[in-house]
Amino acid sequence: MKFCMTADSEVGCVRDNNEDMILVNKQFIRNGHCKVEINTQATDRFIIALADGMGGHNSGEVASQDVLQNLEFYYHDLPSGLSPGDFNEMIFEWLESINNIIDSKGHSQPKFRDMGTTLVAMAYYGGEYYWMNCGDSRLYQLNGGVLTQISTDHSLSNLIGSSEHSNIITNCIGGGCKTSYLDMVKFPKSNIQPGNTFMLCSDGLNDMLTDQEIEQLLADGADATALCQAAIKAGGYDNVSVCVINIED
């Protein structure tokens, strides 16, 4: 399989700084964009992740950067040949470790107190594909022109069954959350097929555009930059970050 990816992260129209960040395998994106192609015949692993930071002053951008930099190093340092069960265990060990690191940084430096971040990711390791989520950043799949949200929002609105998105999240890395958890699922191989498209985004996209609007843009071939610009044109009230992943044969 060949994965053709575009990523873009923008500050938007209202915020002074960008607390979002994207990791595309070994490249970090904030206030910019990139295009990357990865062939699974040439590697035994890759990861695409998006983090939406939170906290007073500029601490949200510190949290998202610390988490993604730590994840990039940890992920590419994993030994080869892990079973799916062992791989899953290693990722959960990383979550516990990074949550403690972010929490400790907040205790040692008051300006970082209670900083935190969401995390949503799509990963390939040892011939298997996985997705993982902590918070309300999202993973979508476009298949046959139909858009489906794969991840579940860890948010107050989802908890109470409201159709309106709430910025109050119930799970994150750091942010004073002592019991962070990660939804982690192995993709069925039938999901990873040429012609399928996946999209990771921060809530700066889905708060500005409906799923129907996102579906149409993706069906029309929009890349990450086009989606970010559509959210900014619609108001751009928050930072907006998007990664679009097209699978080719």
Q: Write out pLDDT tens, residues 25-68.
A: 999 999 999 999 999 999 999 999 999 999 866 799 999 999 99
Q: In the chain, which ranges are continuous DSSP H helix?
A: 59-77, 84-108, 156-160, 203-206, 211-219, 224-233
pLDDT at 88 > cutoff 80: yes
CA distance 246 to 142: 10
pTM for the full model?
0.96
The more confident residue out of 217 and 160 is 217
pLDDT at 167 > cutoff 90: no
Say what the pLDDT of residue 107 is: 86
19 SS3 class? coil
Tracing tokens 């999202």 back to the chain, one arrives at 138
Contacts of 1 (CB under 8 A, 6+ apart): 39, 40, 192, 194, 247, 248, 249
Would you state the structure tokens that stand for residue 85, as one six-digit string?
Answer: 């069960």
Give the mean pLDDT of 190-211. Answer: 96
Contacts of 249 (CB under 8 A, 6+ apart): 1, 2, 194
Q: What is the mean pLDDT of the chain?
A: 95
69 SS3 class? helix
108 SS3 class? helix
93 SS3 class? helix
Lowest mean pLDDT among 9-13, 105-109, 176-180: 176-180
Indicate the angle between helix axes 59-77 and 84-108, nearest 10 degrees.
150
CA distance 246 to 5: 6
Say what the pLDDT of residue 194 is: 96
Cβ count within 10 A of residue 247:
18
Query: Percentage of the chain surpassing pLDDT 90?
Result: 86
CB 172 within 8 A of CB 106: no
Give 163's pLDDT tier (boundaries 50, 70, 90). low
Give the mean pLDDT of 210-219. Answer: 98
CB 200 within 8 A of CB 138: yes
Q: Please choose, from the candidates 234, 99, 129, 111, the residue with its C-alpha nearest in 3D space to the C-alpha of residue 192.
A: 129
Say what the pLDDT of residue 189 is: 85
- Cβ burial of 80 (10 Å; 0-12, 13-18, 19+) is exposed
Give the mean pLDDT of 112-130. Answer: 96
- The phi-psi region of residue 131 (left if phi > 0; otherwise alpha if psi is between -120 and 50; otherwise beta) is beta
Q: In degrees, to the nearest 5, what angle opens at C-alpha 46 toward C-alphas 43 and 47?
A: 180
